[in-house]
Structure 1
Amino acid sequence: MKKLLLAAAISFAMPFAAHAGADFVEGDKTWAGEAELGATLTTGNTDTSSLKGRLGLKHELGNWENQYVLEALYKEDTDVVTAERYYGGIQGDYQINDNSYVFVNTNLEKDPFTGFDYTSKSAAGYGHKFVDNGTTLFKAEVGPGYIYQRLDDESAITEGVESKDSIVAHAVMNFSHKISDTSTFKQEFIADWGEKLDGRSETSITANIVGALAMKFAVVVRYNSKPVEGKKSTDTETNMTLLYAF
């Protein structure tokens, strides 16, 4: 398992090294992105391994700004998997003017430790940048959304249903501030409220090491007001990762 994690880490990092530190332009299409990676391997009296990876891309084309995100988290302790989460999402923003835009997004998350085979969410609505001066960014989004969740076999028996779905009110708040020329603070809140409340908060500080390479410390909190029986409402995740911008 450790060889697989190490190979994945190398494979994840190498493709971005060639593009480090700059956006690239292909005709009238502009791309930019960042790759994030953290891994821990221990042997001996303690036998553990973990891998945290994230790839984020932005694509600007005319009035559209498209965002693509892939995330993976895997932890193993003495050959027992203790955490496993995979996430993929896409969002398109159509700029109305410098501060206002409309958005549409969809994502898919697989986390067997929540009692669901997978969770799919989609939303559309209006976004507004209240502050965007190059140092501080504060923006918010709101609109209707839809959540579909497929339960795993054990939870389906316990809950008496195979799936759950609902219409929700979707809201996002993003805040970032450059503390200095080399460090940035970010705070993101995401909430989907319908028959229950699903929320996610990520607080992070990023500090440049050299060039496009930075160190990122983040605390992620996930909340579900009505978890599957036997599961907890709140999950927390603390990460220290390397981040590479390109």
Structure 2
Amino acid sequence: MKKIIAVGLIGCAVWAADPVGTMKQGVELGYIGSTGNSESQSLNAAYKNDYQYDAQTDMHLKADILYGEKSGTTSDERYRLFYNVNRYVNQDMFVYGEASALRNTFEGYNQQYNLGAGLGYNIFKDEKQFLKGKGGLQFRRSNYTTQPHDNFYYLKGGLDYAYNFSKTNQFTAVWTLLDNMKRIKDYETVVNLGLKMLIVDQLSFRVGFQLKYDNVPPIGKKKTDTTTTAGIVYTF
């Protein structure tokens, strides 16, 4: 898992060296508190890459790491990598593809891999805000810590919303829902809220909150996890 994230970041470095389109990168360092399957206060680091290849194509990559110890024992550890590409077929409709990887033994996953594709639509968009809807199929491979591995196919839906209070301050909200195509009670929903405020030049302060509910979690794990983040973001 760590090697996958490292390869992804190296790929971004090569990509950023000579981009064809327009690229924006960001590095975040800060505090994260979690409840649910892990109860801790930790430090986290994240890297984000937004790349506008041309007028119809945009790509996004994000990797983050959090690690915490309590009395010499690991109390929280998570590694994530997410990649997404969108290709517009007209002004508002687009197709998307995505891939992600996760390691979080506190939630019951030695590794989790996802591949997905689908359609999206700009429900509305103006200078201050936008709302996008997405829907598609997702394949998930889960290597658990407490049970045999599983392969599942999910229906996926979601909404992405952003509101710009000004050119420097932005609120975002992202909601996703996954539902197992064979077992309807096996569903997962995640809500992410974020507020980013410019401090000076390329430095911003960001606070975020994530609520994750897994109706059929790995054996022995809780259904609900929350994370709260606060950190400094440097964009370049």
**TM tier, smaller:** 0.7 to 0.9
1:107 match: secondary structure: strand
Q: Aligned-residue CA RMSD in angstroms?
A: 2.2
Q: Who is 1:104 aligned against? A: 97
Q: Who is 1:60 aligned against? A: 52
Between the two structures, name the one with larger relative contact order (CA 8 Å, sep ≥ 6): 2
For 1:83, give the aligned amino acid: D
CA shift, 1:90, in A, is: 1.0
CA shift, 1:175, in A, is: 0.6
Q: Given the superposition, is the C-alpha separation of residues 94 and 181 from structure 1 closer, same or farther in structure 2, using an over 3 Å criterion?
A: closer
Q: Who is 1:202 aligned against? A: 192
CA shift, 1:38, in A, is: 0.6
TM-score by length of 2: 0.82
Q: Distance in 2 between matches of 1:27 and 1:217?
A: 30
Identity %: 18
CA shift, 1:200, in A, is: 1.5
Q: Quick check: 1:100–1:127 contact (8 Å CA) kept in 2?
A: yes
Q: Distance in 1 between matches of 2:70 and 2:110?
A: 22
Q: Who is 1:223 aligned against? A: 213
| Among 13, 18, 28, the residue aligned to 2:20 | 28
Q: Who is 1:3 aligned against? A: none
CA shift, 1:29, in A, is: 2.6
For 1:75, give the aligned amino acid: G
Q: Distance in 2 between matches of 1:99 and 1:33?
A: 25
Q: Quick check: 1:177–1:186 contact (8 Å CA) kept in 2?
A: yes
Q: Who is 1:118 aligned against? A: 111
| Among 129, 133, 138, the residue aligned to 1:145 | 138
Q: Who is 1:175 aligned against? A: 161
Q: Quick check: 2:31–2:230 contact (8 Å CA) kept in 1?
A: no
2:197 match: secondary structure: strand
2:219 match: secondary structure: coil
Q: Distance in 2 between matches of 1:241 and 1:27?
A: 28
| Pair 1:76-2:66 in alignment | no
Q: Who is 1:20 aligned against? A: none
Post-superposition CA distance 1:61-103 (Å, at most 9, x none): 2332111111111111121211111001111111112211100
Q: Given the superposition, is the C-alpha separation of residues 209 and 27 from structure 1 closer, same or farther in structure 2, using an over 3 Å criterion?
A: closer
TM-score by length of 1: 0.79
Deviates more, 1:179-188 or 1:117-126: 179-188
Q: Distance in 2 between matches of 1:177 and 1:136?
A: 4
Q: Distance in 2 between matches of 1:95 and 1:102?
A: 6
CA shift, 1:49, in A, is: 7.2
Q: Who is 2:35 aligned against? A: none
Which runs of 5 or more residues in structure 2 are unaligned? Answer: 1-8, 33-39
Post-superposition CA distance 1:94-144 (Å, at most 9, x none): 111221110011101000111221111111010111222121011111011
Where in structure 1 do 4 or more consecutive aligned residues deviate above 6 Å?
A: none
CA shift, 1:60, in A, is: 2.2
1:8-47 correspondence to structure 2 within 5 Å = 26=18, 28-39=20-31
1:228 match: secondary structure: coil
Q: Given the superposition, is the C-alpha separation of residues 111 and 27 from structure 1 closer, same or farther in structure 2, using an over 3 Å criterion?
A: closer
Which runs of 5 or more residues in structure 1 are unaligned? Answer: 1-11, 17-23, 41-47, 157-161
